[in-house]
């Protein structure tokens, strides 16, 4: 079975690739979890984050933005003592602040994010592979708008990874079995 090259590195990545990565996420809470985990992934290996996902869910109220938006400095200080997660204060504060932004959006987080791609996943074959300019324009536009709306830790590189993981962009290799599965959904 052909899959994206990165999805063959180990069993955890294979399972993540085959079952989750690139599958469109429409549920706000699940989408916010994906978004938060991408913040933690910045500068780290994705396996490091995946191994701690359950611990992250536990300390971040299952990534419910409404609950997370009420977290205080005390809650953050408690999270920083939990050795089961990645204890990066900037990233932890970013997740909480971003939950506060989500809680105050005039629409749900899913609609907010999906509006950037007109509520339709982009297939990587729709973007000419040597024309990274279109992708860069999209990720820059989204990152700029999110920053203007109060989100933090949202650079173009992180946004690109988030769009791929959350299925807004089907970035599976065209030879990958998931590319074709997701293209017909």
* pLDDT tens for each residue of 107-140: 999 999 999 999 999 987 544 444 566 778 999 9
Residues of the chain with pLDDT under 70: 125-133, 184-185
Residues in the chain: 185
**Which residue is catalytic, options 16, 112, 114, 179?**
16
The class of domain 10-183 in CATH terms is mainly alpha
Chain centroid, CA 64 distance in Å: 14
pLDDT, position 152: 98
Is 120 one of the annotated active-site residues of the chain?
no
pLDDT, position 185: 59
Rounded to 5°, angle at Cα 46 from 41 and 52? 80
Is 46 one of the annotated active-site residues of the chain?
yes
Residue 34 in marked binding region: no
**Which residue is catalytic, options 6, 11, 33, 46?**
46
* Annotated domain spans of the chain: 10-183
pLDDT, position 136: 85
Characterize 113-140 residue by residue with b for buried, 16 or more Cβ atoms within 10 angstroms of its Cβ, and e for exposed.
Answer: bbebbeeebbebeebeeeeeeebeebbe
Is 173 one of the annotated active-site residues of the chain?
no
**Which residue is catalytic, options 38, 112, 114, 179?**
38
pLDDT, position 128: 45
Other Cβ atoms less than 10 A from the Cβ of 21: the count is: 22
Residue 4 in marked binding region: yes
pTM assigned to the model? 0.94
């Amino acid at each position: 079975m052909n899959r994206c090259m990165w999805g063959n590195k180990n069993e955890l990545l294979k399972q993540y690739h085959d079952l989750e990565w690139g599958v469109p996420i429409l549920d706000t809470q699940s989408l916010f979890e994906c978004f938060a985990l991408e913040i933690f992934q910045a500068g780290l290996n994705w396996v490091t984050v995946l191994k701690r996902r359950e611990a992250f869910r536990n300390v971040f109220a299952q990534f419910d933005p409404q609950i997370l938006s009420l977290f205080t400095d005390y809650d953050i200080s408690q999270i920083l003592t939990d050795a089961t997660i990645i204890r990066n204060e900037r990233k932890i504060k970013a997740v909480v602040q971003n939950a506060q932004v989500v809680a105050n959006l005039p629409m749900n987080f899913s609609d907010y994010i999906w509006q950037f791609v007109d509520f339709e996943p982009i297939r990587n074959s729709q973007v000419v592979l040597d024309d990274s300019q279109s992708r860069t324009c999209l990720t820059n536009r989204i990152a700029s708008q999110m920053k203007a709306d109060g989100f933090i830790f949202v650079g173009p590189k992180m946004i690109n990874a988030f769009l791929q993981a959350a299925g807004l962009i089907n970035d599976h290799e065209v030879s990958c079995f998931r590319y074709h599965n997701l293209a017909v959904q």
